[in-house]
Structure 1
Amino acid sequence: MHSIRKLLSFQGIGALSHLNCTEKKSSLLFVKPTTSYCSPPTQSTIASMQTLSKEILLLEMKKSIPILSNSLHKGESGRIGVIGGSLEYTGAPYFAAISALRVGCDLVHVFCMKEAAPVIKSYSPELIVHPLLDSSNALKAISEWLPRIHALIIGPGLGRDEATFKVLGPIINHAKELKIPLVIDADGLFYINSNHHIIQNCTNVILTPNTIEFTRLYKAIMGITIDPSQPVQPEDVGALAKKLGHVTILQKAEKDIITNGININICEKMGSPRRCGGQGDLMSGMLATFLYWKTHDQYSHEVTLSAAAAAAHLSRMINRKAFEIHGRGTLASDMIPYIPECFRSLFNQE
């Protein structure tokens, strides 16, 4: 077994690829906050949470990526569900779904409102689209599909219709019963503001708020107002994750803060200054696929944090690639073609 000092002397994940990916290496997950690989959280954060290096988290993710084989069956590499898609917002569920496919899952089911379904279907023939979210039997119809879903994204393009929110709670509860890992973003987070008890102590849940969404969550759950014009502090993200019973939070900003209130990682990979819509949706799709792969791997360590770190890192890579070509006019759709290339670069494999 390599010592932690020797392991960290290698440069980058490619140099770590020689390790046996079936071995359990939980002892390698923890590095002292003083190491050069660790991001620099505040002193209070260092005192209360263990910093995990990006190299170790990415290696943990790499170990759980399913090996491509001619013996695989359709669906084995992941069946992802997306709860979202309304008349006004059809792009968000598409971006979440297509990024999940581009990163390597096999099938994506989008559960949307009836009026959104034809539009979402027109974006890609690869998506399985169910116009059920606003149907009279929405809960029953969607619940029948859930046992086939490996990971569920809740929120992209969902909207804030009261009738939809009434269905959302029972869907989340059913997913919990089935132990389906959840990624909650966008209007799914708005629902959590008033219903945070529903994810309390759910350690297979990842919340992905941007700064505004985080300040709303923090106010709703902690009862404290944070200035949204200022950078969110790592200790605040950690405090909220701990309050929720160690739910993992990927707080998206100039530096992405990833923590479950016990361990923390800060993603400082260079992205781009472009802030077009849809980037968070792309991340949520990749994250859901990674989360399933990690959950499905019986030898897996740091399931939610490694999935989140990989999604954050890969999102910044595709953002940067697209920006180098398209500059100020970069769109989320411009980033999609770079997902396979950047995936290969990040993990040194197909």
Structure 2
Amino acid sequence: MTSKNLNALLIKVKQLIPPLSADFHKGQAGRICVIGGSEEYTGAPYFSSMAALRIANLMVYPYMRTSEKNYSQTPQQITTKVAELFPRMHVIVVGPGLSRDKLMQECARGIITKAKEKDLAIVLDADALFLVQNHPDVVKNYKKAVLTPNVNEFKRLCEALNVGFDESQKGGTAQRLSQALGGVTIVQKGKVDVISNEEQTLCCDIPGGLKRCGGQGDILSGVIATFLAWGKAYQAGLWEHDQSITASEIPLLASFAGCKIVRECSRVAFEKFGRATQTSDILKELGSVFQKDFER
């Protein structure tokens, strides 16, 4: 990506960010719900949530449980309980640490359906992509959905949707996958992050750290969700602006911003700690990188 194109994108992204104002109240600029975690995987939703918390706010509700054994609530009851939160939410993240447990997958499917009914933006990562792989209709044609597959998840999604995978044509493949899913936004994570909807493709080739830490994708899902929430506030006219960004542009811009920030955080953390870099080190860089990119 040329510096001219990057600058143009950053100018657009900056328009989505609410100004810091004493006139705003808690939650007005966006509320995010992270659906994830399981008995096996507890760290993933933490990193996704904390990424949002660094630039937004967070509450925790322990509703979902893996396995129906010794657990009295049905998937429908759990889905209904979680969906009670949705009138207060603007974005949900589904998948970090969710597991492929049958009950958890069934709950996630119901929760996504309820979120769509409330017109919420949805970020799907990790085991939520396994759900999409087996049940594409859960997000098909829902253009407020953002999918963030890694290389293996991307290949499996392409196979499930009969989209030919071509390693040499990443942008084209991501766009075809988006088209097969009815225009959802695809964030194909890799050496270069490819962000695509059915009409447009962006590439984020900003250097990241050389150590790939587990949990980095969870941070990405939280940052993308934050920008989507701000996009909702932008559309609602929370602050004065020229309304030049269309609703269809917001998922693409939010995804690009998330990729740029997380890659830069990864690089800065790696420059400090090298092989000893941990996911928590990347998380700690969010504030300074965000300030450098968007608030100076």
Tell me the TM-score normalized by structure 1: 0.76
Question: Residue in 1 aligned with 2:95?
Answer: 155
Compared with structure 1, are the counterparts of its residues 326 and 169 closer, same or farther at alpha carbon in structure 2 (3 Å cutoff)? same
Give the Cα–Cα distance (whole angstroms) in 2 for the partners of residues 142 and 75 of structure 1.
18
Shift of 1:72: 1.6
Q: Check whether the contact 1:276–1:332 (CA below 8 A) recurs between aligned residues.
A: yes
Shift of 1:320: 0.7
5 Å-filtered alignment, 1:126-141, equals 135-136=73-74, 137-141=77-81
Q: Check whether the contact 1:239–1:261 (CA below 8 A) recurs between aligned residues.
A: yes
Compared with structure 1, are the counterparts of its residues 334 and 110 closer, same or farther at alpha carbon in structure 2 (3 Å cutoff)? farther
Q: Check whether the contact 2:175–2:198 (CA below 8 A) recurs between aligned residues.
A: yes
Residue 276 of structure 1 aligns to a residue whose secondary structure is coil
Q: Does residue 1:337 correspond to 2:284, yes or no?
A: yes
Q: Does residue 1:256 correspond to 2:193, yes or no?
A: yes
Q: Does residue 1:273 correspond to 2:215, yes or no?
A: no
Q: Does residue 1:205 correspond to 2:145, yes or no?
A: yes
Mean alpha-carbon deviation: is it higher for 237-246 or for 106-115?
Answer: 106-115
Q: Check whether the contact 1:101–1:108 (CA below 8 A) recurs between aligned residues.
A: no
Compared with structure 1, are the counterparts of its residues 198 and 113 closer, same or farther at alpha carbon in structure 2 (3 Å cutoff)? closer
Question: Residue in 2 aligned with 1:233?
Answer: 170
Which AA in structure 1 matches 2:56?
C
Give the Cα–Cα distance (whole angstroms) in 2 for the partners of residues 343 and 243 of structure 1.
34
* Number of residue-to-residue matches in the alignment: 280
Q: Does residue 1:62 correspond to 2:5, yes or no?
A: no
Give deviations 1:173-212, integer Å, cap 9, x for gaps.
1101111000000000000001111211111110000100
Which AA in structure 2 matches 1:209?
P
Give the Cα–Cα distance (whole angstroms) in 1 for the partners of residues 36 and 140 of structure 2.
22
Shift of 1:243: 1.2
5 Å-filtered alignment, 1:1-350, equals 36-37=2-3, 53-102=5-54, 104-109=55-60, 113-114=64-65, 135-136=73-74, 137-222=77-162, 224=164, 226=165, 230=167, 233-298=170-235, 299=243, 300-301=245-246, 302-349=249-296
Give the Cα–Cα distance (whole angstroms) in 2 for the partners of residues 108 and 258 of structure 1.
29
Q: Check whether the contact 1:84–1:110 (CA below 8 A) recurs between aligned residues.
A: no
Compared with structure 1, are the counterparts of its residues 250 and 112 closer, same or farther at alpha carbon in structure 2 (3 Å cutoff)? farther
Residue 182 of structure 1 aligns to a residue whose secondary structure is strand
Shift of 1:346: 0.7
Give deviations 1:215-269, integer Å, cap 9, x for gaps.
0000001264x48xx5662111110101111110010000000010201110000
Residue 297 of structure 1 aligns to a residue whose secondary structure is helix
Percent of pairs with identical residues: 38
Residue 211 of structure 2 aligns to a residue whose secondary structure is coil
Q: Check whether the contact 1:134–1:164 (CA below 8 A) recurs between aligned residues.
A: no
Shift of 1:37: 4.6
Give deviations 1:127-171, integer Å, cap 9, x for gaps.
xxxxxx994431121111111111000000000111112222221
Give the Cα–Cα distance (whole angstroms) in 2 for the partners of residues 239 and 109 of structure 1.
37
Give the Cα–Cα distance (whole angstroms) in 2 for the partners of residues 240 and 292 of structure 1.
25
Unaligned 5+ runs, structure 1: 1-34, 39-52, 116-132
Which AA in structure 1 matches 2:95?
G
Give the Cα–Cα distance (whole angstroms) in 1 for the partners of residues 120 and 72 of structure 2.
22
Unaligned 5+ runs, structure 2: 236-242
Tell me the TM-score normalized by structure 2: 0.89
Moved runs in structure 1, 4+ residues, more than 6 A? none
Give deviations 1:254-302, integer Å, cap 9, x for gaps.
0000010201110000101111100000010010010111133122331
